[in-house]
Amino acid sequence: MENADRTRGLLGWIDRRWPIISFLRGELVDYPQPRNLNYWWSFGFLSGTALLVLIVSGVFLAMHYTPHADFAFASVQRIVRDVPYGWLIRPLHAHAASLFFAVVYIHTFRGLYYGSYKAPREVLWSLGVALLALMIPTAFMGYVLPWGQMSYWAATVVTSMVTAVPVVGEDVVAYIRGGYEVGNPTLARFYALHFFLPFVIAAVAAAHVWALHAQRSNNPLGIEVQDSRDVIPFHPFFTIQDMLALAGFLLVLAGFVFFAPDLLTPAENFQPADPLSTPHLIVPEWYLLPFYAMLKAIPFKILGIVAMLGAILVLFAMPWLDRSPVRSARFRPIYRVLFWILVADCVLLAYAGTQPAEGVPLLLARIGTAYYFAHFLVLVPAIAVFERPRALPQSISAAIMERRASRRRRSHA
Ligand code: HEM
């Protein structure tokens, strides 16, 4: 009621009947945030922004795109050449998809570094992993829609993976493709799902933020908020921080869209799909490369698929695999090193994903895949037992005062 009393005029009248203004004020303006949040805490907001850009630009693309195997390629060319602002909307959509993955990956690694997956945020974390699991097929189906050579062959390679499933594999592939080959029915269903899934992602993202607001944010120290000295209101402190992060994000997006609009389009995709001519090397977008490397690393197709799916599934288990009582890697000397090795391992896998499955790249893909699973299933549970974490500060405000005092001491010395 106190909030409703603060809103006057027409909005106050509405708020007393439908307390939307009070709700938004409570969740976005007065919402208490740990005072030590850094810029890594803006990446959730940036993920939401990228999703919004994708949905809006996607709806405009859908107005001019033709989801038919005979016309899809030409309709995309028409969008870029003839449709007003099509030259802007198409690269905006493609680069926003790429940046969406970039910011979500950073957001996920931030969670891994600061232990944001630990109790009481397990559901929040699991909803995040579900988002990642939904983003991957959505992006893949989007890649197929321009119906160029790479689109067609990526669809062929990925759908044929399912044939490895014993007994039902062949039937399931025919069901997914809508026939025995990738063709018009495949394109039509991929288009329908590519249009629909972003709205599912938006709904799960809303549930994710709801779960966040129920448990409140973790922070770089990974310790609980003790009292009102540890928190500050979301507005203006974090609205300004998020706006600065947004400016950086938009600059990067604009840089790609205006200066390198075709950077992400492989040369093969400038040619229409041709079922009779297979490209020399079939590669997915950069953000799927580590998963692709895992698929290629394992000689048995079915195990390769299990590894790819397992790479995501293992993230769901992270809150239960890591039993250390300390959240933030700042206070965990061994976990911190392992975290950076994991980052390097993912980069290595991405590199291996760009190479043919033979010789040294194949060996690197195998080592990278084995290490990825060893990190989560062996090293993380084991070090929780042996590691001696550094002493935690008493409270967030005490840590800030201590840092200020030591800075003052250094500047006087
Ligand atoms: C569509 C994709 C996503 C959106 C829109 C989104 C949105 C957000 C937002 C707005 C926040 C609060 C700000 C912040 O802490 O950065 C947040 C927090 C969080 N997200 Fe996400 N997120 C997404 C994907 C993910 C993924 C893939 C994961 C993990 C696998 C994840 C895990 C978390 C966690 C653990 C927090 C709490 C962080 C903390 O308080 O330390 N999110 N998310």
Residue 186 confidence (pLDDT): 98
* Structure confidence at residue 6 as a pLDDT band (50, 70, 90): confident
Atom 31, ligand 1: which residue's CA is nearest?
128
Interval between CA 107 and ligand 1 midpoint (Å): 6
| Mean pLDDT value across residues 285-296 | 96
Atom 22, ligand 1: which residue's CA is nearest?
44
* Structure confidence at residue 281 as a pLDDT band (50, 70, 90): confident
Res. 403: pLDDT tops 50: yes
> What percent of the chain has pLDDT above 90?
94
Residue 211 confidence (pLDDT): 98
Ligand 1 nearest atom to the CA of residue 121, by list position = 35
Res. 127: pLDDT tops 80: yes
Helix (H, G, I), strand (E, B) or coil at 256: helix
Q: Is 209 in the pocket of ligand 1 (CB under 6 A)?
A: yes
Which residues are bridge partners to 33 per DSSP? 232
Q: Is 113 in the pocket of ligand 1 (CB under 6 A)?
A: no
Alpha helix ranges (H) inside 145-288? 149-161, 169-177, 184-215, 234-259
Quickly count: other Cβ atoms within 10 Å of residue 25's Cβ.
18
Count of alpha carbons within 13 angstroms of residue 273, beta-carbon side: 25
Q: Angle at Cα 227 formed by Cα 226 and Cα 232, nearest 5°?
A: 110
Q: Is 44 in the pocket of ligand 1 (CB under 6 A)?
A: yes
Look at the alpha carbons of 256, 113, 43, 352 in this order and tell me if their dihedral is positive or negative: positive
Which of 48-52, 160-164, 360-364 has the least mean pLDDT?
160-164
Which of 42, 54, 208 gets mutated to test ligand 1 (max ligand atoms within 8 A of its CB)? 208
Q: What is the pLDDT of residues 300-325, one digit of tens each?
A: 889 999 999 999 999 999 999 999 99
Interval between CA 46 and ligand 1 midpoint (Å): 10
Res. 412: pLDDT tops 90: no
Q: Is 45 in the pocket of ligand 1 (CB under 6 A)?
A: yes
Res. 295: pLDDT tops 50: yes
* Structure confidence at residue 5 as a pLDDT band (50, 70, 90): low
| Mean pLDDT value across residues 172-180 | 96
Res. 4: pLDDT tops 60: no
Ranges of beta strands (E only) in 223-337 are: 231-233
Q: Which two tokens stand for residue 332?
A: 């965990």
Q: Does residue 3 contact residue 22 with C-beta atoms inside 8 Å?
A: yes
Residue 264 confidence (pLDDT): 86
CA distance 183 to 321: 43
Atom 16, ligand 1: which residue's CA is nearest?
44
Q: What is the pLDDT of residues 377-396, one digit of tens each?
A: 999 999 999 999 999 999 99
Residue 3 confidence (pLDDT): 53
Q: What is the pLDDT of residues 199-229, one digit of tens each?
A: 999 999 999 999 999 999 999 999 999 999 9
Exposed/middle/buried for residue 76 (C-beta within 10 Å: 0-12, 13-18, 19+): buried
Q: What is the mean pLDDT of the chain?
A: 96
* Structure confidence at residue 1 as a pLDDT band (50, 70, 90): very low
Domains for the chain: give ranges and CATH numbers: 31-412 (1.20.810.10)
